[in-house]
Amino acid sequence: MMLRLTFWLALALYGAVYAALRLAIHPPIPASVLTIYMLLTAIAILVFVSADERRFTQFIAPLAAVFEGRAPRAARIAVLAVIPLAAAWATYVRVAPSADAPFELRVIHPEPPSSLSVHGRRVEIAGLQNPLRAKGSELDKPIREGKTIYYQNCFFCHGDALAGDGHFAQAFRPIPANFRDVGTISMLQESYVFWRVATGGAGLPKSATPWNSAMPVWQDFLTEEEIWKAILYIYAGSGSTPRTWDDEVKHDKH
């Protein structure tokens, strides 16, 4: 009995995998990655059904019945209508004009507020330093811990090499920051990075529009110390050196 249902079971499995990848994963998988996963799923199903001659015969039986004219007339018409309609839809999706808003220039590093709220208390940004670095103690251990925090939370978007090319990066506009770019965190104090991480996309000022950052408000999930440790790793892992407040004073004088 199960062999006779091989085609329909394979079709149901393919649909279940698609639904799981499309609906159950957040943030959403980019379309290009989803296509690759579904192609691998189709290959895996075909390998499985073709591994047994009887199973493969039952798998192709419904298709053979349609194309050999043995299936009911309504089924043949439905299948043969779906093929050109699917091709037409795929063509339309590729050539249809985009409804996305036109590209607008935006500032790379929006001006931070004078203070921010972190876990219910106000923190002044001016002069704020990474307390782990300010202690002047050995940083190897907090950097290692920051690496774990990064890979548990940030790696999916910012990537294994911290280059803004994580699994989900292409699903966002703008794409996640490339920490290896000399124009990003190397230009910033750690206090600035702390502000961006702690308040996420929701904390960006209206004056910096158009912004559409999808970064979560990480203080809702991480402690202050965990955020500072992650920042330590971001700088260490990308080979960057943060600007200090002394650098800022020297820059203003020039």
Q: Which amino acid is at 5?
A: L
- Give the tokens for residue 122: 């106000």
In a domain, 158, yes or no: yes
Per-residue pLDDT of the chain (254 residues; tens, 9 = 90+): 677 888 889 999 999 999 999 888 876 777 778 889 999 999 999 999 999 999 999 888 888 888 788 888 888 888 888 888 988 888 887 777 665 555 455 556 788 889 999 999 999 998 899 999 876 668 999 999 999 999 999 999 999 999 999 988 888 877 888 999 888 898 899 999 999 999 988 888 876 665 667 889 999 999 999 999 999 999 999 999 888 876 554 444 44
* 3-class secondary structure, 115: strand
Residues with Cβ within 8 Å of residue 132, at least 6 apart in sequence: 139, 142, 225, 228, 229, 232
- Is 141 found in the same domain as 169? yes
> What count of other Cβ atoms lies within 10 Å of the Cβ of residue 58?
18
- Is 184 found in the same domain as 62? no
Which CATH number does the domain housing residue 223 bear?
A: 1.10.760
Beta bridge partners, 123, equal: 116
- Is 223 found in the same domain as 183? yes
* Count of domains observed in the chain: 2
In a domain, 183, yes or no: yes
User: What domain range is 20 assigned to?
Assistant: 3-95
Residue identified by tokens 């700088």 is 235
In a domain, 107, yes or no: no
In a domain, 26, yes or no: yes
In a domain, 156, yes or no: yes
pTM of the predicted protein model: 0.57
Q: With the CA atoms of 34, 40, 42 and 48 taken in that order, what torsion angle do they form, in degrees rounded to the nearest 10?
A: -150
